[in-house]
DNA sequence: TATTATTATATCAATGCTCGATATAATGAA
DNA sequence: TTCATTATATCGAGCATTGATATAATAATA
């Protein structure tokens, strides 16, 4: 418990963040464990990259509870056989639930880390669309 | 593991969020376990409220590692004796580390929950100050 | 006076999650 | 032949949450 070490906090944050990231990647198309990790490395600039020790158990659980469907892929080139995961309708619903949970929490995260006024996502989205309309 | 239940995600998010909230409350002044919980209920509109089963162990660990100092308070009115916690310099450093960890992660949270462009905190702060200058 | 609500701290079992280490395996390139 | 890359999988240690349970003092109410 070394609270002045950023890694401690990163790890703590990732507990809540890894699973929605996996669902996010799968919502963009079928993928396999190793590929999901590569994708995560890319879209988070290496900021939120779980280990294999967490990614594979997550995929196993998602499969077991019907959030994804798995299919063996005998690829023509490259190494090992792959296990490709596809998001089910239930899985998409789970992703949307997660998005809502995060959306409702983020204003309070701002309140905890910024001294500014409370910022709501709706507000941010309005500003963004104003910007793109210019 | 009921991923279509918002509570599941809330709970997951809180794992990473509770500890920085406690430090945030203490950064505003000394407080005791029960009081911190009341404060959390208030500042997060009931959105992020841990149980006593997590708040007291956290306070114990913070004390053990020197992030807070504890002092018994024989209050004049009211019920039980209180244990009042004060943030140490080390504790303030921990809070600042946590803030930085969250700041660097938030853009990627947006990326996972919004279809909009990547939003950076700096950007948001600029927009806010533009607003207040109007 | 007796009961209830509020204030307040604390522990425990069950459950779930991360990390890092370790193992296995196939293939292309040097 | 050796090394790097691609790929999946498991395990223990450590840590965190929830919900239940216990204890205790005092103010207010009936």
Along the 134 residues of chain B, how does pLDDT read in single tens digits? 799 999 999 999 999 999 999 999 999 999 999 999 999 999 999 999 999 999 999 999 999 999 999 998 876 455 568 899 999 999 999 999 999 999 899 889 988 988 654 455 555 455 445 545 54
pTM over 0.85: yes
A128: in domain: yes
CATH code for the domain of A12: 1.10.10.10
Domain of A74 in residue numbering reads as 6-133
B1: in domain: no
Spatial distance between the Cα atoms of B59 and B56, rounded to a whole number of angstroms = 5
Contact A36, A25 (CB under 8 A): yes
A1: in domain: no
Q: In what order do the strands lie in the sheet with A82-87?
A: A31-32, A82-87, A68-73
Those of residues 90-119 in B touching chain A at CB distance below 8 A are: 90-91, 93-94, 97-106, 108-109, 111-114, 116-117, 119
Count of A-B CB contacts under 8 Å? 143
Spatial distance between the Cα atoms of B97 and A9, rounded to a whole number of angstroms = 8
B34: in domain: yes
A112: in domain: yes
A41 near B CB under 8 A? no
Q: How many domains does chain B have?
A: 1
Spatial distance between the Cα atoms of B9 and A23, rounded to a whole number of angstroms = 13
């Amino acid at each position: 418990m070394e609270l002045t070490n950023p890694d401690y906090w990163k790890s703590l944050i990732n507990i809540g963040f890894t699973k929605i990231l996996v669902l996010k990647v799968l919502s963009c198309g079928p993928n396999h464990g190793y590929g999901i990790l590569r994708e995560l490395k890319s879209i988070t600039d290496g900021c939120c990259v779980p280990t294999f020790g967490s990614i594979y158990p997550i995929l196993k659980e998602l499969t077991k509870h019907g959030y994804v469907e798995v299919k063996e892929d005998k690829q023509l080139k490259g190494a090992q056989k792959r296990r490709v995961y596809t998001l089910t309708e239930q899985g998409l619903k789970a992703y949307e639930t997660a998005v809502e949970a995060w959306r409702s929490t983020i204003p309070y995260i701002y309140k905890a880390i910024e001294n500014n006024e409370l910022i709501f996502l709706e507000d941010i989205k309005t500003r963004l669309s104003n910007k793109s309309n210019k």
